[in-house]
């Protein structure tokens, strides 16, 4: 569109105008009358009508971006766990009431149409959801930015339970189409793989020529990312892989029809499915193909299409930061070097100087086994030129190390980008740390541990490179949309400024002492529990324990997160009641809610799911516990369910072993919705506790230094088992097969053995302290008046955990903080 084209007008914000848009979309877009329209037709027409209101802003944003050539943040992420789009678009466009009324006038219920949407589950857990919160905040904060990722045809699997065991079903989220994506099949980027390298055709120092052997085409799908009512609509650009040509004609003519089609399928596999691993790297070739695929397309997109043709790339650091969301996109580093040296003919030193100023790296883990490593053989076969570039980066880097620490060859080996043992492999976190101008952790404790442990050698060499940006969550989705009752109450109390300035929640503090306000808060919590109870009943036939406490542990299933410790608490309560040690009347009525997917290949995690379900079955079927204890484990925990569940929770379980959870973001969502946390001193729990205050947080367990000391001394879970009779009784009950129909060999036996013999994440060591904290929870909850005061204070003091604040920190500390050499 030329600069002079008059902008489209935003359609009028009225029921009439919206109705017209809706019907037009139904007739022209779907080719049906209202009478004959399916729910999907109506959902599409509704979504498209909402989109009209955002499109003008979107085009404006793109036009301005093109005109201003302002510094842009490109968020490179293999995952964006977006959640339902319609509600967010309605909110951003300020159309919630108008759309509801328009549909009601036509005899339609907007809630029913909303239910048609299949959420795009293009992420595993925290990391992917964080990316989605960040692009929301980037748009709301008016930052010129673009998200780049992969349009997986299949997102995170759909979890079902069969006999209590997890069974994965493919998530074909696109089977009815998606009204939110705008494909541009005519605009595509080739991505090359394989082959060999040859002597360069240009004379640049360090150049080689890559002669690749096969390629695929990356086709973009654009998604609107609307800011909250600020007129900005950013773009999320997800790439889909297509075979370069429909058929190889030679093969086709020779009668090799199936062979030709097979090659096509092979290429298109690249964007077929999200790897369902969380905090575990997938050393699979296809995974590396995915990474290079989206990164190469994204770099090309920016360099060839966003920048003006005559742009002097020496100025790139003023124009862009590529933020690397964990190591998944790190192959972008050698890719940019390759473009600058081999294609543009820059000398190596010039190219490296620019490359080092445009990438910043966020690390999301502390588990050493979660750091990505690519075998040299694999990387060299798939991307031979990139491997050469990595070798040279490493050579020069190790020279620097030797200069800084003469004679310290052990250090050189530790820091090398290339690991020698067990096989030669590229350590992607090292490459990211060497190339990035900043490296950040995702919570204070995590960033400290990165500096002191995981990346300690690097922090000693470049102390200024390291910084912290504590994670955050978007208050639009996780308070305003998920909890309309609470949002209205807050707005009635302090105005609606909190939606974009979450620190304003502080103004709620005095209201925590107002009995009226507390009563209103309790009513809302009660209504949210009823809403949850209804949904769980309809969806899964699950009953809650009356109006009792809702105690929630929702997150990926992982040993370090310690769902097993939660089970030990439940079983110990149960055992205590059954043996008469705990009087039934003294037990707080409560429903333990779990939500957790296990990676399909993670056996222990799947056994834990089986055990949760087995324990749940036993407790839920026990008539004597009716109205006291329930275990609810709805399958397929996702963003949609999170929005239903979190607002209903009283207690938030954040019980990882200290030093293992990088941040956690569920913990923030719960606090913001007025749940109290029972948690270890881990990840962002540390900051939550500091802000809300010790009196309003149930801390338990070893600190990180205590845990690592105990590990170093030699941890013996057997000693805890033997010395704590209640712990022993709970474990024995599990081990005896009591919950598994007498079966001691399957999940129950395996988890019993692993906890008593190895207990890698020291659940047994923290058991006693956890039980004590649970007792404090019970007595605090008995005074629900004072509990609700604490809950309100949790909300009032959690404004820090807005992703708007995180993005502001990224702007201050990373994207804008480092003065960039204009003259380079």
**Residue 365 or 500: which CB sits closer to ligand CRA?**
365
Radius of gyration of the chain (CA): 27
CA 771/CA 764 separation, integer angstroms: 11
3 state DSSP class of 745? coil
Other Cβ atoms closer than 10 A to 399: 11
Could you tell me how many residues make up the chain? 824
Shortest distance in whole angstroms from residue 300 CB to ligand CRA? 26
Shortest distance in whole angstroms from residue 446 CB to ligand CRA? 8
**Residue 341 or 599: which CB sits closer to ligand CRA?**
599
Shortest distance in whole angstroms from residue 348 CB to ligand CRA? 31
Shortest distance in whole angstroms from residue 565 CB to ligand CRA? 17
**Residue 208 or 558: which CB sits closer to ligand CRA?**
558
Sequence-distant (≥ 6) Cβ neighbours of residue 207 within 8 angstroms: 200, 341, 342, 345, 348
**Residue 127 or 655: which CB sits closer to ligand CRA?**
127
DSSP string across 345-409: ---HHHHHHHHTTTEEEE-----GGGS-EEEHHHHHHH-HHHHHHHHHHHHHHHHHHHHHSTT-H
Q: Which residues pair with 679 in a beta bridge?
A: 654, 699
Which is catalytic among the residues 555, 562, 660, 689?
A: 555
**Residue 83 or 126: which CB sits closer to ligand CRA?**
126
* Active-site residue flag, 438: no
Shortest distance in whole angstroms from residue 686 CB to ligand CRA? 12
The answer to whether 156 touches 121, Cβ cutoff 8 Å, is yes
**Residue 130 or 796: which CB sits closer to ligand CRA?**
130
CA 436/CA 485 separation, integer angstroms: 44
Which is catalytic among the residues 151, 219, 237, 561?
A: 561
Strand locations in 229-325 (E)? 233-243, 320-325
Shortest distance in whole angstroms from residue 125 CB to ligand CRA? 5
DSSP string across 190-227: EEEE--EEEE-SS--TT-EEEE--EEEEEEEEEEEEE-
Q: Which DSSP symbol is given to 75?
A: E
3 state DSSP class of 313? helix
**Residue 471 or 618: which CB sits closer to ligand CRA?**
471
Shortest distance in whole angstroms from residue 91 CB to ligand CRA? 24
CA 58/CA 612 separation, integer angstroms: 46
Distances (CA, A) of 757 to 360, 706, 715: 42, 20, 10
Shortest distance in whole angstroms from residue 83 CB to ligand CRA? 15
* Active-site residue flag, 344: no
Which is catalytic among the residues 669, 738, 789, 797?
A: 669
CA 719/CA 726 separation, integer angstroms: 13
Q: Left, alpha or beta for 194 (phi > 0: left; psi -120 to 50: alpha)?
A: left
* Active-site residue flag, 467: no
CA 305/CA 466 separation, integer angstroms: 32
Token pair for 144:
């010129």
**Residue 434 or 442: which CB sits closer to ligand CRA?**
442
CA 729/CA 582 separation, integer angstroms: 14
Alpha helices in 95-226 (DSSP H): 96-105, 110-114, 126-140
**Residue 554 or 662: which CB sits closer to ligand CRA?**
662
Of the candidates 18, 55, 96, 298, the residue with the CA atom closest to the CA atom of residue 182: 55
CA 138/CA 148 separation, integer angstroms: 14
Shortest distance in whole angstroms from residue 682 CB to ligand CRA? 9
Shortest distance in whole angstroms from residue 278 CB to ligand CRA? 5
3 state DSSP class of 255? coil
* Active-site residue flag, 591: no
Sequence-distant (≥ 6) Cβ neighbours of residue 645 within 8 angstroms: 532, 552, 554, 593, 595
**Residue 158 or 364: which CB sits closer to ligand CRA?**
364
Shortest distance in whole angstroms from residue 460 CB to ligand CRA? 24
**Residue 131 or 267: which CB sits closer to ligand CRA?**
131
HSE-up (13 A, CA, CB side) for residue 222: 17
Burial of residue 97 (CB within 10 Å: 0-12, 13-18, 19+) is exposed
Q: Which residues pair with 226 in a beta bridge?
A: 233
CA 555/CA 665 separation, integer angstroms: 10
Shortest distance in whole angstroms from residue 663 CB to ligand CRA? 4
* Residues 423, 427, 430, 431, CA torsion sign: positive
**Residue 159 or 365: which CB sits closer to ligand CRA?**
365
**Residue 365 or 394: which CB sits closer to ligand CRA?**
365
Q: Which DSSP symbol is given to 588?
A: P
Which is catalytic among the residues 556, 562, 689, 797?
A: 556
Shortest distance in whole angstroms from residue 769 CB to ligand CRA? 22
Sequence-distant (≥ 6) Cβ neighbours of residue 745 within 8 angstroms: none
CA 696/CA 356 separation, integer angstroms: 44
Residue number closest to ligand CRA, CB atom:
126
Sequence-distant (≥ 6) Cβ neighbours of residue 332 within 8 angstroms: 76, 295, 298, 299, 322, 324, 359
* Active-site residue flag, 48: no
Residues that bind ligand CRA (CB under 6 A): 125-127, 130, 278-279, 326, 364-365, 370, 442, 471, 661-665, 683
Which is catalytic among the residues 235, 665, 677, 740?
A: 665
3 state DSSP class of 716? coil
Which is catalytic among the residues 232, 242, 364, 446?
A: 364
Token pair for 33:
């009358």
Strand locations in 485-572 (E)? 549-554
Q: Give me the active site residues, please.
A: 364, 555-556, 561, 665, 669
């Amino acid at each position: 569109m030329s600069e002079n084209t008059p902008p489209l007008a935003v359609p009028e914000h009225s029921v009439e105008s919206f109705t017209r848009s809706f019907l037009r979309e139904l007739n022209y877009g779907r080719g049906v009358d209202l009478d004959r329209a399916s729910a999907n037709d109506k959902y599409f027409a509704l979504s498209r009508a909402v989109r009209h209101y955002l499109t003008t802003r979107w085009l404006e944003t793109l036009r301005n971006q093109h005109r201003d050539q302002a510094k842009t943040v490109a968020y490179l992420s293999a995952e964006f766990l977006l959640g339902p789009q319609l509600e967010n678009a309605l909110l951003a466009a300020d159309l919630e009431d108008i759309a509801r009324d328009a549909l009601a006038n036509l005899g339609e219920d907007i809630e029913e149409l909303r239910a048609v949407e299949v959420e795009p589950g293009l992420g595993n857990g925290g990391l992917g959801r964080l990316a989605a919160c960040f692009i929301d905040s980037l748009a709301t904060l008016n930052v010129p930015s673009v998200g780049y990722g992969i349009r997986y045809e299949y997102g995170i699997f759909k979890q079902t339970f069969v006999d209590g065991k997890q069974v994965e079903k493919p998530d074909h989220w696109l089977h009815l189409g998606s009204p939110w994506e705008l494909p541009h099949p005519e605009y595509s980027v080739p991505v090359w793989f394989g082959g060999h390298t040859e002597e360069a055709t240009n004379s640049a120092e360090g150049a080689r020529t890559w002669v690749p052997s096969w390629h695929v085409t990356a086709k973009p799908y654009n998604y609107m990312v609307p800011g909250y009512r600020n007129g900005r609509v950013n773009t999320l650009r997800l790439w889909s892989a297509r075979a370069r040509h429909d058929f190889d004609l030679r093969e086709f003519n020779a009668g090799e029809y199936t062979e030709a089609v097979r090659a096509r399928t092979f290429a298109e596999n690249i964007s077929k499915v999200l790897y369902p691993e969380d905090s575990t790297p997938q050393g699979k070739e296809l995974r590396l193909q995915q990474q290079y695929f989206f990164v190469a397309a994204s770099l090309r997109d920016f360099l060839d299409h966003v920048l003006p043709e005559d742009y002097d790339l020496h100025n790139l650091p003023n124009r862009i930061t590529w933020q690397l969301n964990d190591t998944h996109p790190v192959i972008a580093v050698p890719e940019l070097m390759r473009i600058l040296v081999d294609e543009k003919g820059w000398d190596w030193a010039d190219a490296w100087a620019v490359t080092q100023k445009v990438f910043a790296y966020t690390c999301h883990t502390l588990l050493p086994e979660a750091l990505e490593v690519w075998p040299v053989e694999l990387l060299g076969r798939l991307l031979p030129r990139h491997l050469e570039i990595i070798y040279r980066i490493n050579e020069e880097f190790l020279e620097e190390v030797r200069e800084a620490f003469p004679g310290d060859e052990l250090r050189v080996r530790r820091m090398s980008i290339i690991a020698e043992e067990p096989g030669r492999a590229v350590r992607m976190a090292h490459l990211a740390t060497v190339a990035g101008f900043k490296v950040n952790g995702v919570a204070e404790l995590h960033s400290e541990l990165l500096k002191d442990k995981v990346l300690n050698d690097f922090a000693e060499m470049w102390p200024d490179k390291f910084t912290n940006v504590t994670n955050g969550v978007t208050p639009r989705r996780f308070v305003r949309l998920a909890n309309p009752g609470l949002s209205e109450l807050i707005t009635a109390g302090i105005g609606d400024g909190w939606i974009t300035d979450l620190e304003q929640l502080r103004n709620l503090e005095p209201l925590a002492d107002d009995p009226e306000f507390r009563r209103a808060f309790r009513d809302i919590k009660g209504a949210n529990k009823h809403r949850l109870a209804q949904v769980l009943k309809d969806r899964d036939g699950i009953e809650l324990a009356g109006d009792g406490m809702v105690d929630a542990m929702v997150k990926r299933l992982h040993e370090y997160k310690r769902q097993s410790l939660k089970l030990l608490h439940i079983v110990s309560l149960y055992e205590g009641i059954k043996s008469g040690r705990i009087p039934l009347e003294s037990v707080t009525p409560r429903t333990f809610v779990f939500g957790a997917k296990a990676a399909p290949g993670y056996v222990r995690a799947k056994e834990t799911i089986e055990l949760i379900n087995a324990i749940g079955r036993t407790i839920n079927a026990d008539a004597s516990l009716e109205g006291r204890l329930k275990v609810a484990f709805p399958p397929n925990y996702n963003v949609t369910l999170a929005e239903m569940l979190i607002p209903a929770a009283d207690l938030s379980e954040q019980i990882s072993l200290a030093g293992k959870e990088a941040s956690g973001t569920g913990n923030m969502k719960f606090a913001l919705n007025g749940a109290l946390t029972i948690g270890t001193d881990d990840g962002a729990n540390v900051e939550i506790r500091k802000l809300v205050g010790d009196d309003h947080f149930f801390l338990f367990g070893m600190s990180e230094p205590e845990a690592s000391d105990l590990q170093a001394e030699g941890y013996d879970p057997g000693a805890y088992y033997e010395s704590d009779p209640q712990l022993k009784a709970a474990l024995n009950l599990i081990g005896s097969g009591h919950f598994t129909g007498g079966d001691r060999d399957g999940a129950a036996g395996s988890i019993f053995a692993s906890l008593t013999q190895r207990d890698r994440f020291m659940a047994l060591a923290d058991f006693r302290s956890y039980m004590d904290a649970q007792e404090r929870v019970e007595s605090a909850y008995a005074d629900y008046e004072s509990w609700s005061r604490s809950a309100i204070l949790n909300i009032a003091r959690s404004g820090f955990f807005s992703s708007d604040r995180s993005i502001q920190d990224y702007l201050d500390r990373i994207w804008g903080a480092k003065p960039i050499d204009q003259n380079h």
